[in-house]
Structure 1
Amino acid sequence: MSTTGDAERWAPEPPKDTGAGRGPYERDRARVLHSAAFRRLAAKTQVHLAGTDDFLRTRLTHSLEVAQIGREMGARLGCDPDVVDVAGLAHDLGHPPFGHNGEAALNELAKECGGFEGNAQTLRVLTRLEAKVLGAGLNLTRAALDATCKYPWPRKSETRKFGVYADDLPVFDWLRAAAPEPERRCLEAQVMDWADDVAYSVHDVEDAIHGGYVRVRLLIDDADERAAVCRAAAEAYSAEPVDALAPVLDELLADPALVAVADHDGSQRAQAALKGLTSAVTGRFVAAAVESTRVAHGAGPLRRYAADLVVPARIRAQCALLKGIALRYVMRRPGAHGRYEQQRAVLTELVEVLADRAPDGLDPAFAAEWKAAHDDQARLRVVVDQVASLTDPAAVDWHYRLTR
């Protein structure tokens, strides 16, 4: 298979009817939108459990928002907007039931077959598990696949994030052929990654304010709460020390858009103010990255490996602090730990019972893969693939059906 050409596909395909005028990256976008994995995102947890509130975001709505933010930012930089759009739509296809909690549970369960990581699973979904082209998944172009790679390296001991399992290395090496350095990300992947950070930092806080988990007035008035948010952000999301984050949080809380939602009461006026906040902060985060990248790399189209995205340190710190707010008041709120333990138990018991009964109990496609697997590690990987593919309610239903 060829190793050159951004628009090439892993598996050769016959020429398409070009009467509709669609280019290869527009076709990539359509393939992701019409995939089963994309539809399943509608019932997968973002931060709040999927299905608990019609207002709150799921992995599907989050992915649509990432694609929109990334497409606009990429277009302003001169990237092919469809490539960035595809990356935004596809970046979470590998996430399992119950969000990052489910990811951690499956990583422990899959330690004998190379671990589990949502981004590596995304590559597996796109290049193997989705049924579009036999043996090649959705068979996206090289440029689109490369743009989805947030962590373009295999599993290694010093970091828990990685982007490819050992048995997916052949297609990974093919799609990374143009990379000038082994772990350098293309610009489109960097744009998608920042769009992802922007979307979930801003929108998770929006959801949390709407849901009553975050009271901005408390943060404005209480120095101890501000210090706790800074500690949470420094612990999980930022290399900056707590003391350096404190003045950034003060600046953020003085923003008129945040002050306007300090006493959110759910009224239409309050909801409009909340939307004003998300719009203002998203716009600021995107504009700062575009402007700084232009200063560093000049005018003209920037794409693939011609440039790196530049995000000012102060803007990254603000983004980390918004994530810290969601971490403290949503993910670590009272009662959350018990629910997380229950979710992990569901996935653990589900993997164990399926591994014991397989191929019985697996969907037909996964049962065939299990029968073709050459050893116990490969068979365990198939079971993990099956469980990772499930939506939150499907995981609960399968667990009830198979363990009662």
Structure 2
Amino acid sequence: MAHNDDLDLAGPASGTGLAGPPVAHDPDADAASRFEQERCVEEPPKDTRTLPVDGERTQFQRDRARVLHSAAFRRLAAKTQVHTAGSDDFLRTRLTHSLEVAQIGREMGAQLGCDPDVVDTAGLAHDLGHPPFGHNGEAALDEMARACGGFEGNAQTLRVLTRLEAKAVAPDGSSAGLNLTRASLDACCKYPWPRADGMRKFGVYADDMPVFHWLRTGVPDPGRRCLEAQVMDWADDVAYSVHDVEDGIHGGYIALRNLRDDNVERAALCADVAGSYSAESPSDLVAVLDELLSDPVLAPLYQYDGSHRALVALKQVTSVLTGRFVAAAVGATRSAAGPGPLRRYAADLVVPRFTRAECALLKGLALRYVMRRPGARPWYEQQREILTGLVHALTLRAPHGLDPVFAPLWQAAPDDAARLRVIIDQVASLTDPAAISWHRRLVGG
């Protein structure tokens, strides 16, 4: 696959945005703006007497603040990204990863004409639903939650934002979660569809469909993502791929010089990537990997020793790769959609095929040499045992043992499936250390 291959479109562009500043007042645009800023539960006006005259925040700035100040966001500080949270002060957690996604997405969205606070909010919020122990914990809870529709981190994020976080209350007394605007919630929907056969990823549980239908009102095509969600998703891929490799190199798990000199290992890596992250064939990926490893930008990493000079070089590589991936997507999107502000459903993000392959290969480095490193399996098995044991113990003890937030929800649940969902919500909310502590207290060992 050559560097200048055809572009890989996330979907057909449906518009080119505005060609320039409006020449007249557009009442339809005002109505669209009000629609996007609506909240599911109407709220009284804010008291702004303590603010300067020009200090009133926009609705989207309020959304960003609500996520930033939420309990679910704080808990990300002790949730695993790739490395176990707390195992090394250098390494990323879900919190630092989310901050990086928000920063990358905000700048990329601003270049395209998206509202920067909407993209920022989506970046900050995108992992709020992830359980303890990263994707390993996600798989364990999905198995335990079969009777209530399964578990998926992105569907759980929507549940946290619209139901579980404490900020707003609906007229019937139920929680409205953070009660974000329609546009911000839509931007958080990385997979805007319910679970279906043969589909591993989904973004909404069956009992959250009412609020999902509300936030998706007016979407031109079912299953289509708004541009802000696509920007957040690509920012997530960029941050995940580049920064996890940075952590892996610093931690001594990834040695690029060994990979460069071993044809068999390069082929094995590309097979892993083709099986997990990319639709490209392993042979095509080998060609991309060879070009990536021969890039002079990576040369300083072949002798990485953890010194200050080496850390500077590592950070420079991280910056260059991040900038390349962002610029490639912005440039390709502009080429397809034209000039002017692009937002919501005016266009789709376009990422060049070669760039997607490079990003997938970097993700594969973390998969093969960090997540699947020798000796990791026993700890992963222990993580699954911890979460499985917690679900079993709470099923027997509930509502006793549940947090005060979840105990009333369990008592009000109409059937066993709904009660199981509350228990899954409780376990998913825990940090890594809290899950270990709860297991020790409730199960023993």
Q: TM-score range by the shorter chain?
A: over 0.9
Q: Is the 8 A contact 1:79 1:302 kept in 2?
A: yes
* Distance in structure 1 (CA, Å) of the matches to 2:260 and 2:198: 38
Q: Which residue of 1 aligns with 2:40?
A: 10
The range that moved more, 282-291 or 222-231, is 222-231
Contact 1:199 1:282 in 2 (8 A): yes
Corresponding position of 1:120: 155
Q: What are the equivalent positions in structure 2 for 1:1-400 lying under 5 Å apart? A: 5-18=35-48, 19=51, 20-134=55-169, 135-400=175-440
> SS at 2:122's partner residue?
helix
Per-residue CA deviations over 1:296-330 (Å, capped at 9, x if unaligned) read 00000000000000000000000000011111100
The one-letter code sitting in structure 2 at the alignment partner of 1:9 is R
Q: Deviations over 1:163-211 (max 9, x none)?
A: 0000000000000112100000000000000000000000000000000
Answer 1 or 2: higher relative contact order, Cα 8 Å, separation at least 6.
Answer: 2
> Which residues of structure 2 form unaligned runs of 5+?
1-30, 170-174
Match of 2:9 in 1: none
Residue 256 (structure 1) shift: 1.6
Larger radius of gyration, structure 1 or 2?
2
Which amino acid is the alignment partner of residue 157 of structure 2?
T
Normalised to the residue count of structure 2, the TM-score between the two structures is 0.90
- Off by >3 Å, runs of 4+ in structure 1: none
Paired residue type of 1:261: L
Deviations 1:127-149 (A, max 9, x none): 00000002210000000000000
SS at structure 2 position matched to 1:238: coil
- Calculate percent identity across the aligned residue pairs: 73
- Helix, strand or coil: the match of 1:334? coil
Aligned to 2:406, the other structure's residue is in SS state helix
CA distance in 2, matches of 1:137, 1:21: 23
Residue 254 (structure 1) shift: 1.1
Name the structure where helix makes up a greater proportion of residues: 1
Q: Is contact 1:353-1:402 (8 Å) kept?
A: yes
C-alpha distance after superposition, 1:370-403 (max 9, x if no partner)? 0000000000000000000000000000000011
SS of residue in 2 equivalent to 1:365? coil
Residue identity in the other structure for 1:234: A
2:62 alignment partner AA: R
Give the letter aligned to residue 137 of structure 2. Answer: G
1:255: how far off?
Answer: 1.4
- Cα deviations across residues 230-284 of structure 1 (Å, max 9, x unaligned)? 1111110000000110110011111122111111000011000000110000000
**Equivalent pair of 1:257/1:273 in contact (CA under 8 Å):** no
* 8 Å CA contact 1:50, 1:392 repeated in 2: yes
Q: Which runs of 5+ in 1 are unaligned?
A: none
Shift of 1:225: 1.6
Give, in angstroms, the shift of residue 72 of structure 1. Answer: 0.2
* Partner AA of 1:89 in structure 2: L
Deviation at 1:40, TM superposition (A): 0.1
Matched residue SS, 1:311 = strand
Cα distance, 1:77 vs structure 2:
0.1
CA distance in 1, matches of 2:374, 2:198: 32
Q: TM-score, normalised by structure 1?
A: 0.99
Distance 1:76 1:32 in 2: 23
